[in-house]
Amino acid sequence: MDTLVYSLEVILLAAAIALLIFLTRNSSSNHASWFKDKHSERVITFLREALDEYRFGKITSVKLIYGPHLQRIFCSHLGIEMLSQILDQMQPWQQDEVAGLMKTIGYDEYLIEQLSHDNQRVIGEAIRLLNIFKVEKVNDAVYALLLEYQTAHDIQYEGLSLLVKTGDTKHLLELGHNAHYTSNLSFNELSQLFSEYRGDTEFLYRDLLGSDNSFLRRLIIRSIGQEKCYNFIPLLIEMCDSDTLSAEERVDILSTLDLLSDARQAREVKFFPDNLDARANTVV
């Protein structure tokens, strides 16, 4: 009897989550805010109870008692969004604990299945959670999605974030040298993503400076300055002699060398026009 009552409570909780997200999306009223606060707290309380069992190594309890209810709550489009919102409020070490808990009930496999969903928003959210959960076997699938959904902002951002944070040099280079690939992310978004790269930065940047994509080369040139990659100073000065370099790239190189405290060498490069300093303040 107790089990039946508990199951009914969880079912009602799952229904409350659905209504919560509906109200959050479609209303800014005080009632929606009150409803959100009340039921978000119930979900977090339930998740905290499951985490306590997980921390004490009670894996069987997690799988048999909490597992079915966690799956009922979070194994849906609305559930993915709810878990994503909860994780946003947590520190990285807390996110790792939740990831371990959810992997115990096979949630990582569920997220992988969502990569083939026909809803782009679901795909983007699934990639984001897979990134937080540090699931290692999805890079090939994410790379394919980046090529397929080049105009889908969420997929592009979360997909590139996953490749960058896993230090996936192979796929990043393939994208950088793919003439048919064009991300719709802004310069600032891409710059932020590349600053989080967890691999051999010098190797990646040197290779991508040889890309045929002028936009990407400019991104790398600016990243070199922002990240104070001093080893690139001789290469950047040498690049100025290239006949294929655009005027904008030359401006970026000068700005980067200024950031690297090597403005004197930059101005000695004969290829720079006299009005380059003025143009550096206007070209984006």
Residue 279 tokens read as 């143009």
Give the pLDDT confidence of 69-109 residue by residue, as tens digits: 899 889 999 899 989 988 998 899 999 999 999 999 999 99
Separation of alpha carbons 12 and 78, rounded Å: 15
Residues 167 and 194: beta-carbon distance below 8 Å: no
The runs of H, that is alpha helices, within 65-180 are 67-74, 77-88, 92-104, 107-113, 120-132, 139-148, 153-165, 169-176
Separation of alpha carbons 112 and 152, rounded Å: 18
Give the pLDDT confidence of 36-50 residue by residue, as tens digits: 444 567 788 888 898
Give the pLDDT confidence of 222-265 residue by residue, as tens digits: 999 988 898 999 999 888 877 778 888 889 998 898 888 754 45
pLDDT at 28 over 50: no
Predicted pLDDT at 24: 43
pLDDT at 135 over 60: yes
Separation of alpha carbons 157 and 4, rounded Å: 43
Q: What is the mean pLDDT of the chain?
A: 81
142-161 burial by CB neighbour count: b if 16+ within 10 A, else e? Answer: bbebbeebeebebbbbbbbb
